[in-house]
Amino acid sequence: MLGMSLNDFIAGLPKAELHVHHVGSASPRIVSELAARHPGRVPSDIDELRSFYEFRDFSHFVEVYLAVVDLIRTPEDLRYLTYEIAREMAQGQSLRYAELTCTPYTSVAAGIPIEAYSEVLEDARHAAERDFGLVLRWIYDIPGESGLPAAEDTLRYALDHRVEGLVGFGLGGPEIGVPRPQFQPHFDAARAAGLRSVPHAGETTGPETIWDAIRLLGAERIGHGTSAAADPALLAHLAEHRIPLEVCPSSNIATRAVATLAEHPLKAFVDAGVVVTINSDDPPMFATDLNREYAIAADLLGLDEHGVADLARTAIDVSFAPDEVKAAVRGEIDAYVAAASS
């Protein structure tokens, strides 16, 4: 590419993101504002926030994450969070489409009625598309640590208060001590209603969790799937059935799911023929963004600009975006590559 570094190319490349958490996308700027509104255990000073986000392990990450969740106490907080996340995604990362994983259970538990929650999400979604050209869709996930009551409520919110932007049904939070089979009835009901199955699995547990997600929850994509590399039969199954893994390299390092980037299984996935997408998970909490994750992937996989563009094409292709959005984003990617090559 003429006169452009790979990092510059990535920054301007139109992209889609499929594994990124709603509250977990709150930047220090956004968290600082929310912490000032609700003084408590989350610091409002940006420098202090950086120390607050230094994770010891996955359980500590969950603890910090839930502390930030606690700052979303009113519909106004939720609207501010969602709209400002969209601003940063579109303006700093050239995102054109994103599926944000939302956890309505925790917001309703904090006192925001599901009717207000739904209304605010949709209002922010329409505003983001109008103001930033960013198409948003929602995945409602069960916070696994809250068990079956959370699953039942999340399913009810998804089905009885369904919003136009809702496309998927997920499962997040800790995996250890939270067996996937207990959630099969909830995923069955969500899938019967037309929602797509996108559970987290194999981030901090072994391959059997991923098998459970596929066999029992009907997973169409796997969140993380890091431990799949330990099971050749699973890799073959993922490749044969074109079940994508939503790979989040920096997240895996920060939560100690993987010890070092050099040991990350991304290349093993690609070598096995598994479809992969590159994502940021909870980007400010891991001091990253989608641009950086693409740069890390390019380094791990030895990609040039054309290879990086193929990652972007894969993400939009395996998304749950409407066909016209897929076509538009693909067209933007192709035009960008052609312009950068001329």
Q: Which residues contact 109 (CB under 8 A, 6 or more apart)?
A: none
Instruction: Please identify which residue in the block is written with the tokens 């066909």.
Output: 323
Catalytic residue among 88, 99, 175, 203: 203
DSSP run (H or E) holding 143: strand 135-143
Angle between helices 75-93 and 114-132 (to 10 degrees): 30
Say if strands 166-172 and 15-21 run parallel, antiparallel, or are unpaired: unpaired
End-to-end CA gap in the chain? 8
Q: Which residues contact 177 (CB under 8 A, 6 or more apart)?
A: none
DSSP at 206: -
Residue 332 a catalytic site member: no
Longest dimension (CA), the chain: 56
Q: From the CA atom positions of the chain, what is the Rg in Å?
A: 19
Considering Cα of 38, then 99, then 222, then 11, what sign does the dihedral take? negative
Q: How would you class 39 by CB atoms within 10 Å of its CB: exposed for 0-12, middle for 13-18, buried for 19 or more?
A: exposed
Q: Cα(224)–Cα(73) distance, rounded to whole angstroms? A: 29
Catalytic positions: 203
